[in-house]
């Protein structure tokens, strides 16, 4: 750390385990993210009204989020045991 900021050098960045997904996986992620954005727009339009429509949208957001998580785990080759560890870690926050 120098002068109040962290410096990221290329040799350090190359050590990060960043996977490049296949074209097919990229397209799937794009479609899921687009769906998530659309659903969140619809949810924002409803505001604070507690309706069946709102509940359905929220459920669809959860399902879409889970699909994104599953696809990312697949891309990185994360095992079921590792998924459980990650999920438990996130619950502690």
36 Cβ neighbours under 8 A, 6+ residues apart: 61, 64, 65, 68
What's the confidence (pLDDT) of residue 34? Answer: 98
Per-residue pLDDT, averaged over 22-30, amounts to 97
Examine the pLDDT at 29 and tell me if it is beyond 90.
yes
Whether 57 contacts 43, CB under 8 Å:
yes
> What is the Cα–Cα distance from 31 to 1, expressed in whole angstroms?
39
Per residue in 53-69, pLDDT (tens digit) is 999 999 999 999 999 99
Angle among Cα 14, 70, 74 to the nearest 5 degrees reads 50
Residue 20, phi then psi, degrees to nearest 5: -100, 115
Instruction: Give bridge partners of residue 5 from the DSSP assignment.
Output: 2
Q: Give which of 86, 43, 75 is closest to 62, Cα–Cα.
A: 43
If you average pLDDT over residues 14-31, what whole number do you get? 94
Query: Mean per-residue pLDDT for 23-36?
Result: 97
Q: Quote the pTM value.
A: 0.78
């Amino acid at each position: 750390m120098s002068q109040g900021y962290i410096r990221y050098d290329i040799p350090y960045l190359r050590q990060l385990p960043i996977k490049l997904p296949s074209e097919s996986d990229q397209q799937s992620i794009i479609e899921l993210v687009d769906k998530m954005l659309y659903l969140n727009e619809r949810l924002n339009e409803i505001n604070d009204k507690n309706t069946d429509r709102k509940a359905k949208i929220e459920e669809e957001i959860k399902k879409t989020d889970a699909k994104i998580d599953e696809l990312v785990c697949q891309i990185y080759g994360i095992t079921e045991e590792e998924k459980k560890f990650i999920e438990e870690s996130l619950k502690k926050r």
